[in-house]
Amino acid sequence: MPLDPNPLHSTRCCVVGGGPAGMMLGLLLARAGVAVTVLEKHSDFLRDFRGDTVHPSTLQILQELGLLQKFKQLPQRRESLLSGLIAGREQPVVDFRGLRPFDYLALVPQWDFLNLLADAGRRYPSFDLRMRHTATGLMRDGGRVAGVRVESPDGAYELRADLVVACDGRHSTIRAAAGLKGTDYGAPMDVLWFRMPRSAHDPQGTFGIANHGHLMVLLNRNEYWQTAFVVPKGSDAELRAQPIDRLRDAVVRLAPFLSDRRDSIESWDAISTLAVQVDRLDRWHTPGLLLIGDAAHAMSPIGGVGINLAIQDAVAAANALATPLREGRRIDEAQLAAVQRRRELPVRVVQRVQLAIQNRVISRALEADGRPPRIPWLLRLLLSLRVVRNRPARLFGYGIRQEHVRTPELAP
């Protein structure tokens, strides 16, 4: 099908969603000289409930793109050792020390990270990022996806593309429009997400606390704690029917150092509920369409690895598709299937570990009887060894089948 010559209505590659997967793919394709349009439904990247954890695999990609120095200038914390406070006892669990080339996890507000990628993309003339443009459905030509329908502040339009890549996250519109099926692995929990002020005397790191039938993760964002309070799946309506004091009590019971700030949790309105979901599509593609990141495989927050896997997917997709896209060759389904083949194993392995932790650790920690969870003595003994604590750090930090930037850079 001939492309509409109006660049507003046609592109080589349309990327739906400006999250980590979409922004990285848009940047890599534009850098390789491909005309790429990224559609993002929000007007900016300023959303509080995005994960912040930039793992070594992503640091490596930033280094390969020459963006690491700029990244290091963003406000961030580095964590080399992640601990749990389990029934009052501190237990180091994930240890990056000794890993090479990066021996830490960077905690960076995701909006800063996405702005960095957007600014890097704008250096290339073929990068077209459209904020407040929402993909509402797919256009088809014969059996092939031929573009997307878009709603924007200036009205609705159709954007034709030789290839559409859906990076629109866990509630993907494009996945639904394509009718792709997968497996929902379930999750025993959802997350209440809110901020609490920090004080100079608070503990320093980022850590999880499990006790009294509750589980909470405190992410140190310097001026405040980004708090993730884990609750049983589907309990949101019941919780919100209770006075806010019930939540304040539970938070302070887990972290007594927050008791002088309990009223900073003003009301239920200040609290977002984030539904946790773990699933994976059987097929990540149809003719003319590829899905990557959470759109293909929704990740649990465990290990803070979803952003990083989404970025690895984007790098793999760009490595496979940038050259044929730039040369104007038609992308056939076998090329899209190759991207899935490359990325599916790393995703499967991480999801399997996440499901084991969800089912064996988190479900038990949330049991209503409030008994403090216990770590078996053998596990505690093993975790006293750095080499054992390095294993989850290596899996979550670098993953298996680590991707590297293989796409060329055309002069900006």
Ligand X SMILES: Cc1cc2nc3c(=O)[nH]c(=O)nc-3n(C[C@H](O)[C@H](O)[C@H](O)COP(=O)(O)OP(=O)(O)OC[C@H]3O[C@@H](n4cnc5c(N)ncnc54)[C@H](O)[C@@H]3O)c2cc1C
Nearer to ligand X, 50 or 324 (CB): 50
Least separation in angstroms between CB 401 and ligand X: 17
Nearer to ligand X, 165 or 265 (CB): 165
In Å, what is the CA distance from 376 to each residue of 81, 104, 366? 21, 27, 18
Interface pick for ligand X out of 3, 274, 337, 410 (rule CB under 6 A): 274
Interface pick for ligand X out of 14, 15, 21, 318 (rule CB under 6 A): 21
> If DSSP codes are grouped into helix, strand and coil, which group holds residue 302?
helix
101: cis peptide before it, omega within 30°?
yes
**Nearest to 215, CA basis, from 159, 188, 177, 254:** 254
Site string for ligand X, 45-84 (x = CB under 6 A): ------xxx-------------------------------
Nearer to ligand X, 44 or 332 (CB): 44
- Both tokens assigned to 139: 């256009």
Q: Which among 63-71, 161-169, 333-341, 349-357 is the span making contact with ligand X, rule CB under 6 A?
A: 161-169
Contacts of 89 (CB under 8 A, 6+ apart): none
Q: Is 339 in the site for ligand X (CB under 6 A)?
A: no
Interface pick for ligand X out of 22, 26, 56, 397 (rule CB under 6 A): 22
Q: Is 181 exposed, middle or buried (0-12, 13-18, 19+ CB in 10 A)?
A: exposed
Q: Which among 244-252, 259-267, 280-288, 304-312 is the span making contact with ligand X, rule CB under 6 A?
A: 304-312
Nearer to ligand X, 208 or 293 (CB): 293
Q: Which among 60-68, 153-161, 164-172, 248-256 is the span making contact with ligand X, rule CB under 6 A?
A: 164-172
Nearer to ligand X, 37 or 173 (CB): 173
> If DSSP codes are grouped into helix, strand and coil, which group holds residue 87?
coil
Size of the site for ligand X (CB under 6 A): 35
Least separation in angstroms between CB 18 and ligand X: 5
Percent of the chain that is helix, strand, coil (3-state, to 5):
35, 25, 35
Least separation in angstroms between CB 82 and ligand X: 12
Q: Is 307 in the site for ligand X (CB under 6 A)?
A: yes
Task: Please report the sign of the dihedral spanned by the C-alpha atoms of residue 346, residue 339, residue 147, residue 126.
Answer: positive
Q: At 14, which helix (H) or strand (E)?
A: strand 10-16
Instruction: Say how many C-beta atoms besides its own lie within 10 A of residue 148's C-beta.
Output: 27
Q: How far is CA 277 from the centre of its chain?
A: 12
Q: Is 247 in the site for ligand X (CB under 6 A)?
A: no
Which residues of the chain form contacts with ligand X (CB under 6 A)?
16-22, 39-42, 51-53, 134-135, 167-170, 173, 191, 274, 276, 293-295, 299, 301, 304-308, 310
